[in-house]
Structure 1
Amino acid sequence: MLGLAAAVGAAAATPALLSAGAAEAAHRPVREQYGSVGGGQHPVHVLRVGAPAARQVLVLVAGQFGAAGSLRVLARELAGRLPGTQVWAVDRRETNLADLSELRGGDPDRAADRYLNGRYRSVRPASAPYVAEWGLATALCDLRRVVRAAGTGGRRVVLGGHSWGATTALAYAAWDFAGQPGHRHLAGLVLIDGGVHDAFAGEGDVYRVTPEQARAGLADIAAGAVFDPSLTLGRTETYAILQVLAGRYALAAPDAPSTLAERLPVPLRPPGPVSNTGLLRSEYVDAPLVPDLSVNPAYTSIETVAGTLAVVRPGAFEWYWPQRLTLDLSAADPFARTATTELLGLRLWHPTTIDVPLYSFQSGLTHGTANAAARWVVAHSRIPSASYDGDEAMTHLDALWAGRNPMLDTLVPFLRRLEH
């Protein structure tokens, strides 16, 4: 087995040639490169996977707290099977806030000592008040830069996302950019276990943000509630840091007793002693913090979980998720122009004119509501054709990390048709 530094380096090399892993692409190398799109004070970074000369680009956006690294396994599989399509996984601007200085090395003990003892730059609302403005409008402005870059030279651009990344993709398609709908320069849409109009109702998440609630949310943000506290375990960034450390320990010494387990916050702490691999199994299989953050070992191996978590550039999780983005995406769920969207300045003005093919896949997380919501979007737009698929045994993360991924059986043909 590779040592930790070699294993992480092989996964994160920029650029790199890596095996796609799929049976039909076992001998086809997949190129990877991670870099910024545009400059400025808050650059957006993209993980490009596949042939730069491909005539089609699939731009993928991760979901809440997800970062570009969470899309790497899926991107490799798709690029390996579709030589005519390059996959771009987007890192939102807030990923630049993370202090990765000690995590760039290969020693998990040294990194744990630094980060678990708080010896890193922690971004607090007082030091980053500008994040209060990083809502959906900012995210879509950044995404437009990515879409335009992907479309240079006349390349077709397909836009997709996972979870709230799928919501973001639909919002982009419906958004008014200075009088021009976002969908005008897209060739297709890919929704992976997410969307709008009650896509998440099956897991109990129904969004009905009233103008009064929106005003209260804006007031809270203005008062200092800049970062979404949903995964806060001590500090906003604690969860993401712990996942990197857990992944690195599991790569370095999978069967060794976990020294990290006893240092975890109570919600993540296993009931008894575990190995480094056992700690990840506890977190992602036996007792996940939330249903969204779990895997079914019949689809996704713990080794894949470890390898995905251990890389930090790009990483699997964001350290800091803007509360304004949570408010805006919640308010965008009806996928229509409402009093709330007008109050928040959300330019969702063109949902009924979307006219590109759509693909939707759902796992067992939403119990059917993700595809039902996608069908609603199709019925209330000009979308000419749509493909729907799902697997109730899969988890939300399996759709991205599965070694045996049934989604590819339908997503690959959908993208192949768009190539031509």
Structure 2
Amino acid sequence: MKPTSPAGKRTGTYLRLCGAAAAALLLATGTAPAASAAPAPRPSVREAYVSLRGADAPGPAAEDRIRVLKAGSPRARQVLVLEPGQFAAAGSLAPVARQLAARLPDTEVWAVDRREQNLADLDGFRLPPDRAAEHYLGGHYRSRSPQSAPYVGEWGLAVELADLRRVVLAARDGGRRQVVLGGHSWGGTIALAYAGWDFDGRPGHRDLSGLLLIDAGVHDAFAGEGITYRLTAEQADARRARIEGGEVFDEALNMGRTETYAILMQLAGGYATAAPDRPSELAAHLPAWLRPPAGTGVTNAGLVEWLYATHPMVPDISVNPDFTPPAALARALAAPEPALYQWYWPSRLTLDLEAADAFADTDVARRLGLRLRHTREIDVPLYSFQTGLTHGTVNASARWLVGQSRITSATYAENEAMTHLDPLFASPGRNAFVDTAVPFLAGLGRR
């Protein structure tokens, strides 16, 4: 069916994929496009992990760097720039970037590692798992405290978007290539903020040919999960005062140290990849509420399955084995660089993204210095994919965005059986996001 609007000017495509295999892709005509079929095996795509100069920002000049994982041909006419979600780094997007690039030879996919990842000490993950565990669990790595990096308290949305603009302009290559900007979860929120941002008088959406949201959005996109943001000026001021007082890192995943969770997950992936059938020694190092019960004899591979499939910590951090084999997730977790997790997430970025959820130039947004002045002017095609995490509010928020902007073409896709992480790690031929994003991206390339 097609979405409607009071103005009657908007067109859209609605794609719904149902069942564990996500085999039934129906358009309004009732026919399934070729893109929904399971793809044939593809050759590996070209990859490069490169460093770009970031914007000038508080802190040492050496940390004014962002890195990008590039998948696909550098001669492609279109670049899809993807932002990872909260606490996630470019490695979380690597598997899906490869899938998209393999099926879209004229699209190169760039996964962004934000400047925060400069703070992580990842060198030890190049060691075999046992030695890596000794290195990290023994505390032989560089840990960053709020006292050692107080400037992170100023790394909010303005800094993130200034960095992202460097990436987008590099991808545009002087206007010789068109850029689609997107992201997963809060990475999609960052992408939308870019589109509505004022860059010294130039709206961000003018740099773009499309927007792509992977279980992401604004304006109560996560309400179906029970998450809404109603930030008042008083709350924003109080939280900014705490950040200025030293609470520079978001501690939502803190397990003794800010970075401990990310380290444990990367070690779990390394063990499961190198010795999947060996009894897990790492399980004993997990917090008691997270580890498998004593005596279960869990293997290294079984630990990853326990953490992400059978007993996930929260629904956001889980996979459905019908789509994502735990072994595939383990390989992504194990990558030394780019890593799957970001060690340090700025509290100021959390604050700013909560304020940006209204997606308007509100009093709170202005109070925080957010330049969301062009949200109603966005006029590029939109793609939105939702999983079962939010029970429909992701695509509802995308429709809201279409209704309050100048977007005239929108594609909405969903698979309620998929988890929040499945679009990033699901196997080729079982990834409903890839199957529906490919025709959207291919269509933009023909514009």
For the criterion TM > 0.5, the same-fold answer is yes
Cα distance in structure 1, aligned partners of 2:193 and 2:374: 9
Q: Aligned ranges for residues 352-391 of structure 1 at < 5 Å?
A: 352-391=376-415
How do 1:63-142 and structure 2 match up within 5 A? 63-105=85-127, 107-142=128-163
Residue number in structure 1 paired with 2:255: 233
1:281 aligns with 2:281: no
- In structure 2, the residue corresponding to 1:407 is in which secondary structure? helix
Deviations 1:99-153 (A, max 9, x none): 1222122x11111112112221110000001100000000000000000000004
Q: Normalising by structure 1, what TM-score?
A: 0.93
- Secondary structure at the residue paired with 1:241? helix
Kindly provide the amino acid, as one letter, of the partner of residue 41 in structure 2. Answer: A
1:56 to 63, 78, 82: 78
- Cα offset, 1:23, TM superposition: 5.7
Q: Secondary structure at the match of 1:307?
A: helix
User: What SS does the aligned partner of 2:45 have?
Assistant: strand
2:62 partner SS: coil
**SS at 1:127's partner residue?**
coil
Q: Is the 8 A contact 2:89 2:114 kept in 1?
A: yes
**One-letter amino acid of the structure 1 residue matched with residue 75 of structure 2:** A
Q: Which residue of 1 aligns with 2:351?
A: 327
Q: Which has the higher helix share?
A: 1
Residue 4 of structure 1 corresponds to none
Give the drift of 1:298. Answer: 0.2
Supply the distance in 1 between the matched residues of 2:77 and 2:303 (Cα, whole angstroms): 43
Partner of 1:10: none
Amino acid at match of 1:54: A
Does residue 295 (structure 1) correspond to residue 292 (structure 2)? The answer is no
Distance of 1:33 and 1:296 partners within structure 2: 29
Kindly provide the amino acid, as one letter, of the partner of residue 331 in structure 1: A
SS at match of 1:191: strand
Gaps of 5+ in 2: 1-36, 55-60
- Amino acid aligned to 1:57: V
* Paired residue type of 1:97: L
Alignment of structure 1 residues 119-268 onto 2, 5 Å: 119-153=140-174, 154-268=176-290
Q: Taking structure 2 as the reference length, what is the TM-score of the superposition? A: 0.88
1:356, 1:384 within 8 Å by CA — same for their partners in 2? yes
Q: How far apart, in 2, do the equivalents of 1:88 and 1:267 lie?
A: 37
Measured in 1, the distance between the counterparts of 2:140 and 2:242 equals 29
Give the residue type in structure 2 aligned to 1:157.
V
Which structure exhibits the higher relative contact order, with contacts defined as CA atoms closer than 8 Å and separated by 6 or more residues?
2
Paired letter, 2:139: G
Is the alpha carbon distance of 1:27 and 1:398 closer, same or farther for their aligned partners in structure 2, counting shifts above 3 Å?
closer
Deviation at 1:223, TM superposition (A): 1.1
Cα distance, 1:27 vs structure 2: 4.2
Q: Do the aligned partners of 2:236 and 2:351 also contact (CA within 8 Å) in 1?
A: yes
Q: Runs of 5+ in structure 1 lacking a partner? A: 1-21
Displacement of 1:286 in angstroms is 1.4
Change (3 A) 1:298 1:27: closer
RMSD after superposition: 1.1
Q: Which residue of 2 aligns with 1:11?
A: none
The one-letter code matched in structure 1 to 2:437 is L
Structure-2 residue corresponding to 1:19: none
Distance 1:181 1:395 in 2: 33
Within 1, Cα distance between the matches of 2:355 and 2:219? 10
Looking at structure 2, the residues matched to 365 and 180 of structure 1 have their Cα atoms a distance apart, in angstroms, of 35
Q: 2:341 aligned with 1:317, yes or no?
A: yes
